């Protein structure tokens, strides 16, 4: 869904292009590299962070305590308040209500400039915790480091898995594309597929490529990874997939790395009368209907509700109880899967706005 | 007017008869080549042959169905946009508009109880209503362009952004999604409601499909063979009728020879049809080739005057240079085919496999050689008919040699039989043409009777050939079912595409509005001074494009059931590119609707051919760019040659 956002942004205005790209490129990076060697360093950094943060934190906590625990958290994202981000917002609001804090939701609408100002505003207002997405790291790392220096607990959400340690953020809450792709690969193994076509709807989107790379990592059969046409021209997409399927008659699985392209893959395989296991990414009403009908095997869900809910709770615990979750590693919200078994339940939750 | 043997004499005769040079008679090839769509047509055929050769699924009927499917929506828009471009304007909102009208229709029919989410109208009201909105968009664009006198590039760029924004904005406001669906909900709801709001009816009109595997016709191949052979024969006869000068009294001996040739040809065809294996094919092809030679010489003996002044066998430097270049290119293509390994499918450079490079080099150099040889023969003809025929005969022999070379060098059946047969027939036709043009006189003056007959033959011949090919695409035979033919679905979209193209071509060529379109695009000021309602014409052209966008949006809504907010965004440039590839000029005042349709087919073939050939999709746009560049260059080259020949 976020990829879709990125695509939309691209088509809206070329000026937003950089933002959209940055968004996908940083979240796509292999999590294993961040998890491996750096962990020791990370812990140190985190301790530094804690030490630095402690002095002002305590004073502020004192103030807060005298005011009766009235904490204010800021959630500063590149949200366009579309279907994806409105779920994140709902999660954050629910958590704020559950733990009894004030939440300020600041949507950047894919404009990193606005996010920079929002971060400055949050620091100026004496925020008790900032959760920020990192669509374009170069512009946002500096301001968030300022926030950390000001003793404010910072979490990155959704995108920023590569840079949260540089910032000095406590942790990152999101999904990494590679791991999501790995999850999809295991599903295809279970379904008994031997040759999966990983269809991409954008040609140079690193996030989408990472999803396919994750698939290649865990899937035991052959993977063909191709760009097959933009979502804006679904006719071409469907026929491109058909051409590839006809060129390789042994293709028996299709992973569309977005919800629209997954449906195109389904149409193509139905047109050809081929028995193909179709998987997709992200949630639309259409793909859930297709999963419910048994035409699509699964779709990968990054459960963005968690990306709103968890940071609020984590910041609350950090502010009130000095807890730091994650152990320096990112906290993953996905991949969750929507399959024929849970499609009916998920459909109701989508209608309720929490999936 | 007295027929004369040289161009100079002809021109003198024309001026003596009070004619003027603008009415000078043009030969049949000059007349074909000067049409704006001819370059695109040649490019389209070449690209089809190329991908047919390098990919298996591309040449199948299912491949053709896919190409037509992609061309249909692209082509409708390209044709409308080419008319607007002929009228001297651009519409950058055309791409976004296709999705917009799909979304509007869906929002109008969508019915969600309890929330905002659709007007719940019947399709009978929703479709005309969204069409009215489309007309409104066209009126808006046209009026703005006329009133502000700003370039339409800027004005419609603004409409583009407005449309892109409203698509997303309204979709999210009304249904809280970045996509709007679903058209087929109407059918589902119809089960528990009295009416499906016209879904069944309109679905047949906009999304009916012909499933090939359900339509078996076992004498299809006989019909196909008859249609193609008879059709092509009539076309070549038409070429003769248009090229040669009729004689006063017909020679009945010639008719006899002609019939003998036909019999020989038929024997060859039956032989091909009833034998299996390459040996039978060669014998069959031999009979056909000989039949062609005898038949057409007979035809010429029967009807046309013989040529007296043939000139000597001397080649001017002008003609011998391309001849040498052609021979070198052909030799190089043979060497390339021998040197590279046809079985090696590993990458040798970063983007192409060895067998792919071999195919590209062989086809590319071979095509270059053919072009050079034809140029050489045409230039030789300026001075001497003998020289022209000699070069043409040499070319025919080289085509035949290449045919056997391909057979010897390849293992795939399609190269060993089909390519061989087609190339041998082509070589026979060329050789026959070389002989007959040497022996019989060219007509250099108008002859109404011959032109009428020629035109009738062209229409009948091309209809027969097209019917044959269409029959082969639409029907399946038992043998194909046994071999497990992949399902091919032909959509009614293709008929919309063809119908829309035909209508636009007719309007451009035959109506006052068509003439006005050319006039306002050529020179708006001048056209207004001679009484053309320039502003009204332009506004109507914008409305035509918006109407086409409505049609495409409706077709997509029935096809995909759900329309994305992003649907169509960015495709406006593809429409313009298709129009330009099809021979429409960016500067306005020149172009053709049929050309734009062919341009769309070229783009669709390139887009389908790349995945069909399993070329690395990372390089897709490089391939697409090269193919389009070649198509445009070929088009421009042919046009400049034709203009020069005027």
ipTM of the complex in this document: 0.81
> What's the whole-number mean pLDDT along residues B205-228?
90
- What is the Cα A70 distance to its own chain's centre? 30
Same domain, yes or no: A55 and A138: yes
Cα–Cα dist B203/A297, whole Å = 28
Residues 6+ apart with CB under 8 A from B587: B88
- Terminal-to-terminal C-alpha distance of chain B: 20
A340 domain residue, yes or no: no
Mean pLDDT, residues B286-303 taken together: 90
Give the C-alpha distances (Å, rounded to integers) separating A315 from A122, A129, A169, A321, B122.
Answer: 15, 6, 11, 10, 52
Cβ of B571 and A232 within 8 Å? yes
Do residues A248 and A316 share a domain?
Answer: no
H, E, C per residue of B444-464: CCCCHHHHHHHHHHHHHHHHH
pTM for the predicted model, two decimal places: 0.81
Window from A89-98, B33-42, B337-346, B611-620 with minimum mean pLDDT:
B337-346
A77 falls within a domain: yes
Is A240 inside any structural domain? Answer: yes
Q: Is the pLDDT of residue B6 over 60?
A: no
Residues A326, A275, single domain; the answer is no
pLDDT beyond 60 at A12: no
Instruction: Tokens for A308, please give them.
Output: 């709103």
Please give the Cα distance from B143 to A316 (Å, whole number).
59
- Residue A184 shares a structural domain with residue A291: yes
Q: Is the pLDDT of residue A13 over 60?
A: no
CA angle, residues B391, B392, B395, in degrees to nearest 5: 90
Q: pLDDT tier at B461 (50, 70, 90 boundaries)?
A: very high
Per-residue pLDDT at A179 exceeds 80: yes
Indicate the domain borders of chain B. Answer: 65-210+489-645, 314-422
Kindly determine whether residue A233 and residue B568, on different chains, have CB atoms separated by under 8 Å: yes
Distance CA A9, CA A22 (A): 12
Mean per-residue pLDDT for B520-524?
89
Q: Are residues A101 and A234 in the same domain?
A: no
Check whether residue A189 and residue A150 sit in a common domain. Answer: no
- Report pLDDT digits (tens) over B365-402: 998 999 999 999 988 888 888 999 999 999 999 999 99
| DSSP class of A128 | S
Query: What pLDDT score was predicted for residue A1?
Result: 47
Q: How would you list the strands of the sheet with A129-132, edge to edge?
A: A102-107, A72-77, A129-132, A154-157, A171-174, A331-332
Chain A (204-263) residues lying within 8 Å, Cβ to Cβ, of chain B: 226-236, 238-240, 242-244, 246-248, 260, 263
Angle at A168 between CA A165 and CA A174, to 5 degrees: 55
For residue A84, what are the CA distances in angstroms to A6, A284, A353? 12, 10, 10
Same domain, A50 and A167: yes
Q: Compare B414 and B441 and report the one with higher pLDDT.
A: B441
For the cut 70, the answer to whether the pLDDT of residue B23 exceeds it is no
Closest listed residue to residue B617, CA positions, set A237, A217, A225: A225
| Assigned domain for A256 exists | yes
Dist. CA B92–CA B95, nearest whole Å: 7
Helix orientation angle between B512-522 and B534-560, rounded to the nearest 10 degrees: 110
Is residue B10 pLDDT above 80, yes or no?
no
Q: Is the dihedral of CA B346, B348, B353, B355 positive or negative?
A: negative
Alpha helices in B149-251 (DSSP H): 152-175, 185-189, 199-207, 220-243
pLDDT reported for residue A19: 41
Q: Is the pLDDT of residue B602 over 70?
A: yes
Q: Answer whether residue B137 shows pLDDT above 80.
A: yes
For residues A221 and A325, membership in a common domain is answered with no
Tell me, yes or no, whether A24 and A80 share the same domain: yes
Instruction: Kindly indicate the confidence band of residue B189, based on its pLDDT and cuts at 50, 70 and 90.
Output: low
Mean pLDDT of B350-379: 84
Tally of domains in chain A? 2
d(CA B426, CA B436): 15
Q: Is residue A97 part of a domain?
A: yes
Contact predicate A220/B557, CB 8 Å? no
Whether the pLDDT of residue B99 is over 70: the answer is: yes
Count of CA atoms in the C-beta half-sphere (13 A) of B445 = 17
Q: Any idea which residue has 């793909």 for tokens?
A: A287
Q: Do A227 and B618 touch (CB under 8 A)?
A: yes
pLDDT at position B419? 84
A46 plus A139 within the same structural domain: yes
Q: Are B566 and B99 in contact (CB under 8 A)?
A: yes
Which residues in B lie closer than 8 A to residue A89 (C-beta atoms)?
none
Residue A240, domain extent: 177-301
Selecting from B57, B164, B559 the residue whose C-beta is nearest the C-beta of A247 gives: B57
Query: How far is the C-alpha of B77 from the C-alpha of B67, rounded, in Å?
Result: 16
pLDDT at A119 over 90: yes
Distances (CA, A) of B243 to A109, B21, B561: 68, 20, 53
Label residue A341 by pLDDT band (50, 70, 90): very high
Q: What pLDDT, on a 0 to 100 scale, did the predictor assign at position A30?
A: 39
pLDDT over 80 at A49, yes or no: no
The top-level CATH class assigned to B65-210+489-645 is mainly alpha
B614, A83: Cβ pair inside 8 Å? no
Beta strands in A121-217 (DSSP E): 129-132, 154-157, 171-174, 195-200
Is pLDDT above 90 for B518? yes
Residue A66 has pLDDT above 90, yes or no: no
Q: What is the pLDDT of residue B340?
A: 81
**Paired strand residues for A300:** A281, A337
Structure tokens that stand for A282 in this block: 């992200």
Which CATH number covers residue A295?
3.40.50.2300
**A119 and A204 belong to one structural domain:** no
User: What value does the mean pLDDT of chain A take?
Assistant: 81
Chain segment B482-507, per-residue pLDDT in tens? 887 778 889 999 999 999 999 999 99
The upper half-sphere exposure of residue B162, i.e. CA atoms within 13 Å in the direction of its Cβ, equals 12
Supply the pLDDT for residue B17.
46
Contacts of B174 in chain A (CB under 8 A): none
Given a cut of 80, is residue B156 above it in pLDDT? yes
**CA gyration radius for chain A?**
21
Q: What is the pLDDT of residue B617?
A: 79
Q: Is A290 within the bounds of a domain?
A: yes
Tokens coding A97? 């209500």
C-alpha span between B101 and B493 (Å, rounded): 17
Q: How far apart are CA B329 and CA B225, in angstroms?
A: 34
pLDDT level of residue B20 (50, 70, 90 thresholds): low
Q: Of B22, B14, B441, B23, which is closest to residue B243 (Cα–Cα)? A: B441
Tokens (6 digits) for A220:
């035991």
Place of tokens 């038929």: B266
Query: What confidence score (pLDDT) does residue A64 get?
Result: 41
User: Average of pLDDT values for A23-28?
Assistant: 41
Question: Using alpha carbons only, what angle is made at residue B530 by residues B527 and B536, rounded to the nearest 5 degrees?
Answer: 55
Measured between beta carbons, the chain B residues lying within 8 angstroms of A244 are 611-612, 614
Query: Tokens 């999966």 belong to which residue?
Result: A196
Q: pLDDT by residue (tens digit) across A213-249?
A: 999 999 999 999 999 988 888 999 999 999 999 888 8
| pLDDT, average across residues B562-567 | 89
Average pLDDT on B157-166 reads: 92
Return the residue in B179, B182, B206, B571 with the most chain A beta carbons within 10 A, the one to mutate for interface testing. B179
Q: Where are the alpha helices (DSSP H) in B219-353?
A: 220-243, 252-274, 278-303, 317-339
The rounded distance, in Å, linking the Cα atoms of B18 and B426 is 42
Give pLDDT, residue B628: 79
In a domain, A342, yes or no: no
Q: Choose among B56, B559, B611: nearest Cβ to A244.
A: B611
Between B164, B487, B565, which is nearest A271 by CB? B487
As beta bridge partners, residue A103 has A73
The per-residue pLDDT for A5 is 52
Residues A16 and A147 in one domain: yes
Rounded to whole angstroms, how far apart are CA atoms B336 and B455? Answer: 43
3-state SS string over B38-102?
A: HHHHHHHHHHHHHHHHHCHHHHCHHHHHHHHHHHHHHHHHHHHHHHHHHCCCCCCCHHHHHHHHH
* CA quadruple B112, B114, B118, B122: dihedral sign: positive
Query: How many A/B residue pairs have CB atoms within 8 Å?
Result: 119
What pLDDT does residue B14 have? 44
Chain B nearest-CA distance from A222, in A, is: 15
CB contact under 8 A, B70 and A12: no
Residues of chain A with pLDDT > 70, as a percent, come to 81
Per the model's pLDDT, the better-predicted residue between A160 and B415 turns out to be A160
3-class DSSP assignment, residue B19: coil
Kindly indicate the confidence band of residue B576, based on its pLDDT and cuts at 50, 70 and 90.
very high
Rounded Cα–Cα distance for residues B629 and B495 (Å): 29
pLDDT at B323 over 90: yes
- In a 13 Å sphere around the CA of B386, the CA atoms on its Cβ side amount to 8
Give the Cβ contact number of residue B151 at 10 Å. 12
Chain B: nearest CA to A102, how far in angstroms?
Answer: 26
Q: Of all residues in chain B, what percent carry a pLDDT higher than 70?
A: 90
Contacts of B555 in chain A (CB under 8 A): none
**A205: pLDDT confidence band, cut at 50, 70 and 90?**
confident
Question: Closest residue of B to A2, CA-based?
Answer: B178
The better pLDDT of the pair A57, B574 is held by B574
Whether the predicted pLDDT of A36 surpasses 80: no
- What is the per-residue pLDDT for B635? 76
Binning pLDDT at 50, 70 and 90, where does residue B191 land? low
Write down the mean pLDDT value for chain B: 86
Section B97-119 average pLDDT: 79
């Amino acid at each position: 869904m976020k990829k879709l956002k990125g695509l939309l942004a691209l088509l809206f205005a070329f000026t937003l292009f950089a933002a959209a790209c940055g968004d996908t490129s940083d979240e796509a990076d292999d999590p294993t590299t961040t998890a491996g060697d750096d962990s020791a360093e990370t812990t140190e950094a985190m301790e530094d962070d804690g030490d630095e943060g402690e002095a002002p934190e305590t004073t502020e906590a004192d103030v807060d305590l005298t005011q009766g625990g009235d904490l204010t958290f800021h959630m500063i994202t590149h949200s366009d308040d579309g279907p994806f981000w409105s779920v994140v917002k709902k999660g954050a609001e629910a958590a704020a209500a559950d733990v009894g804090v004030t939440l300020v939701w600041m949507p950047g609408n894919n404009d990193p400039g606005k996010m920079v100002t929002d971060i400055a505003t949050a620091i100026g207002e004496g925020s008790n915790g900032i959760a920020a997405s990192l669509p374009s790291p170069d512009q946002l790392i500096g301001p968030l480091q300022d926030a950390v220096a000001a003793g404010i607990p910072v979490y990155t959400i959704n995108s920023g898995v590569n840079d949260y340690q540089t910032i000095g953020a406590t942790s990152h809450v999101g999904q990494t594309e590679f791991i999501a792709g790995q999850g999809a690969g295991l599903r295809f193994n279970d379904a008994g597929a031997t040759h999966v076509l990983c269809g991409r709807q954008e040609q140079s989107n690193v996030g989408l490529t990472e999803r396919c790379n994750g698939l290649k990592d865990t899937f035991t059969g052959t993977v063909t990874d191709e760009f097959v046409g933009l979502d804006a021209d679904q006719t071409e997409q469907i026929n491109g997939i058909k051409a590839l399927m006809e060129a390789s008659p042994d293709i028996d699985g299709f992973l569309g790395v977005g919800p629209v392209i997954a449906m195109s893959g389904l149409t193509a395989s139905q047109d050809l009368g081929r028995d193909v296991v179709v998987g997709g990414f992200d949630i639309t009403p259409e793909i859930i209907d297709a999963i419910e009908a048994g035409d699509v095997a699964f779709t990968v869900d990054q459960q963005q509700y968690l990306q709103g809910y968890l940071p609020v709770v984590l910041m609350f615990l950090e502010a009130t109880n000095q807890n730091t979750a994650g152990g320096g590693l990112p906290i993953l919200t996905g991949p969750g899967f929507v399959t024929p078994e849970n499609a009916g339940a998920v459909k109701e939750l989508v209608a309720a706005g929490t999936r | 007017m007295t027929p004369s043997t040289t161009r100079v004499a002809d021109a003198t005769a024309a001026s003596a008869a009070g004619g003027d040079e603008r009415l000078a008679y043009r030969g049949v090839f000059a007349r074909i080549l000067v049409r704006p769509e001819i370059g695109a047509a040649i490019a389209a055929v070449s690209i089809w042959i190329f991908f047919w050769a390098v990919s298996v699924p591309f040449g199948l009927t299912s491949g053709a169905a896919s190409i037509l499917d992609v061309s249909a929506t692209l082509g409708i828009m390209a044709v409308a946009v080419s008319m607007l471009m002929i009228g001297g304007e651009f519409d950058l909102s055309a791409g976004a508009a296709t999705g917009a009208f799909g979304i509007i229709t869906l929002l109008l029919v969508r019915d969600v109880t309890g929330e905002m989410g659709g007007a719940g109208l019947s399709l009978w009201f929703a479709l005309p209503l969204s069409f009215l909105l489309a007309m409104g968009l066209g009126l808006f664009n046209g009026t703005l362009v006329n009133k502000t006198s700003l370039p339409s590039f800027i004005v419609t760029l603004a409409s583009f952004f407005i449309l892109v924004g409203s698509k997303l904005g309204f979709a999210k406001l009304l249904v809280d999604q970045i996509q709007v669906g679903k058209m087929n909900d109407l059918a589902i709801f119809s089960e528990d409601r009295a009416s499906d709001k016209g879904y069944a009816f309109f679905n047949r009109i906009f999304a009916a499909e012909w499933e090939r595997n359900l339509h078996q016709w076992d004498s299809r191949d006989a019909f196909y063979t008859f249609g193609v052979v008879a059709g092509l024969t009539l076309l070549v006869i038409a070429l003769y009728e248009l090229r040669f000068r009729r004689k006063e009294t017909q020679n009945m001996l010639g008719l006899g020879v002609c019939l003998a040739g036909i019999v020989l040809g038929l024997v060859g065809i039956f032989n091909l049809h009833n034998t299996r294996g390459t040996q039978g094919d060669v014998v069959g092809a031999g009979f056909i080739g000989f039949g062609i030679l005898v038949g057409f010489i007979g035809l010429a003996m029967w009807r046309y005057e013989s040529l007296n002044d043939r000139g000597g066998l001397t080649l001017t430097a002008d003609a011998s240079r391309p001849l040498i270049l052609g021979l070198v290119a052909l030799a190089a293509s043979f060497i390339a085919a021998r040197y590279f390994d046809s079985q090696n499918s590993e990458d040798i450079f970063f983007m192409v496999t060895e067998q792919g490079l071999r195919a590209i080099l062989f086809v590319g150099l071979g095509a270059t050689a053919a072009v050079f040889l034809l140029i050489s023969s045409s230039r030789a003809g300026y001075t001497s008919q003998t020289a022209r025929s000699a070069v043409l005969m040499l070319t025919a022999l080289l085509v035949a040699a290449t045919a056997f070379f391909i057979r010897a060098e390849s293992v795939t059946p399609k190269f060993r039989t089909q390519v061989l047969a087609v190339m041998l027939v082509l070589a026979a036709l060329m050789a026959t043409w070389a002989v007959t043009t040497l022996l019989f006189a060219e007509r250099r003056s108008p002859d109404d009777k011959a032109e009428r007959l020629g035109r009738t033959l062209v229409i009948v011949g091309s209809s027969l050939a097209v019917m044959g090919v269409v029959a082969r695409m639409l029907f399946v035979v038992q043998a194909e079912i046994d071999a497990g033919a992949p399902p091919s679905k032909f959509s009614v979209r293709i008929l919309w595409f063809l119908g829309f193209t035909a209508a636009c071509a007719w309007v451009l060529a035959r109506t006052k509005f068509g003439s006005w379109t050319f006039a306002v695009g050529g020179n708006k000021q001048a056209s207004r001074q001679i009484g053309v309602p320039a502003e009204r014409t332009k506004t109507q052209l914008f409305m035509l494009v918006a109407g086409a966008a409505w049609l495409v949006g409706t077709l997509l809504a029935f096809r995909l059931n759900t329309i994305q907010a992003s649907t169509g965004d960015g495709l406006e440039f593809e429409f313009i590119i298709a129009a330009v590839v099809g021979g429409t000029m960016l500067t306005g005042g020149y172009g053709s609707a049929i050309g734009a349709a062919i341009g769309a087919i070229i783009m669709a073939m390139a887009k389908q051919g790349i995945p069909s050939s399993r070329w690395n999709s990372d390089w897709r746009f490089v391939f697409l760019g090269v193919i389009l560049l070649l198509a445009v260059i070929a088009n421009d080259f042919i046009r400049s040659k034709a203009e020069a020949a005027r």
